[in-house]
A = this chain, B = another copy of it.
């Protein structure tokens, strides 16, 4: 029974993440989510106190998924070339976006735009997810700085935040243009030009 509960909770988070990605937080009703899983609405509230709490858990769930994807991509290496490794990771994400008919972009960026002011709970969760992503990228950029493959005049944490900004902005542009060209251009400019040593 415990196992089944975990399974249902997981399913609710997955369906919620997909619908939030496509239609946003406010555009998604709890009713649709429970309908998609053929479970009664009441049981939703046995797993989550509120829609806001559900959204915060979806952000964490999505972040766990993104983190796993990044761990796999980073493990592909090359470990001795952290800059190349990071670039390969971004290129893989571009390929997966190419394969998607609907370009949903990044749930973190989408929900930041929609929810950051109206939900302090979600804002806090979005922040911790963003910081974790930046810390990971900064760690590898710093390794690349030591190797001399990344410019050293800007601290790795600031470079990582800038990468986050440019990447999230380019994902918005991808959605607006319904094309992956913006994220391709962004990654090319970051890795071929802006991160390079002077």
A residues with a Cβ closer than 8 A to B are 22-28, 102-105, 109-118, 123, 126-127, 130, 153-154, 158, 161-162, 164-170, 172-173, 175-178, 182, 185-186, 189, 193-194, 198
On chain B, the residues within 8 Å of A114 by CB distance are: 23-24, 27, 110, 113-114
Does B176 lie within 8 Å of A161, measured CB to CB?
no
Does A165 lie within 8 Å of B161, measured CB to CB?
no
Quick one: closest B residue to A28, CB to CB? B26
Query: Given A22-B117, A161-B173, A165-B169, A153–B112 Cβ distance below 8 Å?
Result: no
Number of copies: 2
On chain B, the residues within 8 Å of A161 by CB distance are: 173, 182, 185
Query: Max chain B CB contacts within 10 Å: which of A111, A161, A172?
Result: A172
Does A116 lie within 8 Å of B168, measured CB to CB?
no
- Interchain CA distance A137-B185 in the complex, whole Å: 17
On chain B, the residues within 8 Å of A104 by CB distance are: 117
Query: Max chain B CB contacts within 10 Å: which of A27, A115, A166?
Result: A166
Does B176 lie within 8 Å of A112, measured CB to CB?
yes
On chain B, the residues within 8 Å of A24 by CB distance are: 24-26, 113-115
Nearest-Cβ distance from residue A18 to partner chain B, whole angstroms: 12
Question: Which residue of the partner chain, among B26, B102, B109, contacts A172 with CB atoms under 8 Å?
Answer: B109
